[in-house]
Each structure stands twice: as C-alpha cells, then as structure tokens.
Chains A and B, each alone.
Chain A
Amino acid sequence: METSCAADHSPNDAAERTTVVALDQSEESFHALQWALDTLRFGVSDRLVLVHARTSPLSHATGFGGAGTGYILGTEAVISMERSQEREINAFMDKAMELCREKKVKAVKHVVYGDARDVICEEIQKLNANMLVIGSHGYGAVKRTFLGSVSDYCAHHVKCPLIIVKKPHEKSHLKN
C-alpha cells in the first residue's frame, strides 16, 4: 500500500474491456500502438484486438497494365501474391503482438479482408469494443498536421470513444 500511491487501475474488475487497435504497416500505426501501451494502463481484464484490414491482391492486380484492361492473371499468380502478402502481414502483426507481450498486455490479431474504414467500424461493433486506438497518416502542407482519411472516417462513425495518435513531426523533417 505504501510502496506506490498510484491506485491500481482496474475500474471494472469483473468486466473485460476490449480495445481495438487499428494497424497497418505504417510507422504511424505502430507509434499509436506503442503510445497506447506506454500511456494507458491495461489491467488483467483488458485485452487488445489488433485489427488489420487486408485488401485482396486482385485489387492491386487489376491496376497492372494501366486502366485494368487486358490482363488476366492466372490463379497461380494470384495465389502467390496472396501468400506473399500474408507473409508481410504476419510479419508486422507478429511484431505488434510482441510489443504487447513486452508490456504484458493480452492481445489477439484480427486480419479481415476489406476496406479499412468498414473493417474497423464493423470489428468495433462485433466486439462491442470499449475504445479504439488509431494512428493517422495525415500529411499536411506547411508543417500542419491533418488527419488521414481512415482516422477521419472512424472519428465520425464509431460510437465508442476513440484515441487518434499522430506521429509528431521532427523539427527539421519535411514530410513529402
């Protein structure tokens, strides 16, 4: 009792609280996750759900050849693209899980096909999440920070509290 005067943070000891953390490969979303792990206090009854929205490689494939005309990819090509995408996804999602493990925070991965905006909002509903943590890819002219379209969308549409974490600009760093 006397060793620390910050009270143990577990407001609803019985209830499990779910925090959705939206992730992609970007530095910004990892920064958001790390910020949440460092700043927020997660207790034993809390868990993070790391959500990544995955786009089908086909949507990239139809862009080849310009205006998506004329190219028909064989199933083998599609399968190999999906596999390589999966490897990439697993790589960074596992990295994210490791960050959670380091902070002894329970976490699970949810990789879902679809547009990030919809996937995040749907996962929040499905999981009845208590909170969303999301980074922002905002790029602004003249060193102003704006909001990326996914975080902006979520800010408008999710019903639960959300935390938008922007990556601070370096003083001498110019964002292109």
Chain B
Amino acid sequence: MASEGDDNAAGSLLRRRKVLVAVDEGDESMHALSWALDNLIVPGQAVGAEHCSTSDLIVLLHVQTHPQVIVGPAGPGFYITPEIIDSIKKHQDEVSKKVLLRGKMLCNEKHLETETMVAVGDPRDSICEAVEKLGIDYLVIGSHGYGAIKRTFLGSVSDYCAHHAKCPVVIVKNK
C-alpha cells in the first residue's frame, strides 16, 4: 500500500486535489484541460486496475444551455411544444456525451480518476455553483476571448468565474 507523503520533493503530505474543468464543444476548453494535465495536475500511475489515491481527481463539467433559452420566448402564433424541448434536450445530451468523452480520454492517458457532470443553465452560475457544491480545490477554464488583432482577452464565462468562483481559478488562454 502506498504510504502517503513519500517521494514528494517538498516533503509535505500528498493530498489529492479535486479539480473542476469546465468543458464545452470548443477547442479552447480541451486545450485548457490538456495544459492543466501537463502542467498542474498530479498524474497517476496504473497500479493494477485501481486508480492511485494520491493522484488528483478531475471533475469534468459540461453546462447545457436551457432548451427554453435556445428556443426563445414564445410569441403569438409560436407555441413551444414538449416535442421541441425534447429534441433539443436530446441533441444537447449527445453533445455532452461527446464532449465529456473527449475530456475523459485525455484524463485516462494520465491514469486519472475522472468524474463527469452535466448541468443545465447559465455556464457562469453553474460552474460557480458546482465549485461550492463539490468542494473543488481549483477550477480550470479556457478562455474564449475574442479580441481585435487576435489579442487574448477574456471570455465572459472565464471573466465571471475569475470574479466569483470561491476557489482559485486557472485561466488558460487560447494558443
């Protein structure tokens, strides 16, 4: 059994971190995840079939926009049927599955224990809520910043999270 506290250059007790990575369809979030996996996260080693208990735990979160928001407000002559809502939800669930699988595969390369999570709502609030609910040690988020002259600015979600998340926030800019 591995004894905790061994082999750490700093000599401090190895404690696994719970890291939340917000992912979506964009390449930026996968880039952020990759960078974090390469530079910040304590990888595991395949120890038999078990995951190492001292390597970090990654929580991959995909936030779906609420179907109502996609469809927009109902106006005269336009009636939102449950079928429409269902088909939107179905499509979104497929997107979530795809995105989370992509993220999970990156984590598997580092032999990391991964949890996946889907939330519905505004990404800003959902991410910050997840941080609190799950007792996250730090948050990794990409930046969709779009700027003139291709300067890296800050996307609104990463900006919001930088302000409001109750844990340290790692912002990885586009390459």
Interchain CA distance A104-B11 in the complex, whole Å: 9
State which of B6, B7, B162 has its C-beta within 8 Å of the C-beta of A147: B162
Interchain CA distance A9-B112 in the complex, whole Å: 13
State which of B7, B151, B169 has its C-beta within 8 Å of the C-beta of A6: B7
Interchain CA distance A89-B3 in the complex, whole Å: 41
User: Are B172 and A43 neighbours in the complex by a CB distance under 8 Å?
Assistant: no
User: Are B6 and A103 neighbours in the complex by a CB distance under 8 Å?
Assistant: no
User: Are B137 and A39 neighbours in the complex by a CB distance under 8 Å?
Assistant: yes
Is B166's CB within 8 Å of the partner chain A? yes
SS class of chain A's interface: helix, strand, loop or mixed?
A: loop
Is A119's CB within 8 Å of the partner chain B? no
Task: Mark out the residues of chain B between 71 and 97 whose CB falls within 8 Å of any chain A CB in the assembled complex.
Answer: none
User: Are A6 and B12 neighbours in the complex by a CB distance under 8 Å?
Assistant: no
Please tell me which stretch of A71-79, A90-98, A152-160 contacts chain B, meaning at least 4 of its Cβ atoms lie within 8 angstroms of it.
A152-160
Is A70's CB within 8 Å of the partner chain B? no
> Which B residues lie at the A interface, using CB under 8 A?
2-3, 6-12, 14, 17, 32, 35, 38-40, 42-45, 47, 52-55, 111, 137-138, 145, 151-154, 158-159, 162-164, 166, 168-173
> Which A residues lie at the B interface, using CB under 8 A?
2-9, 11, 17, 32, 35, 37-44, 103-105, 130-131, 138, 144-147, 151-152, 155-166, 168
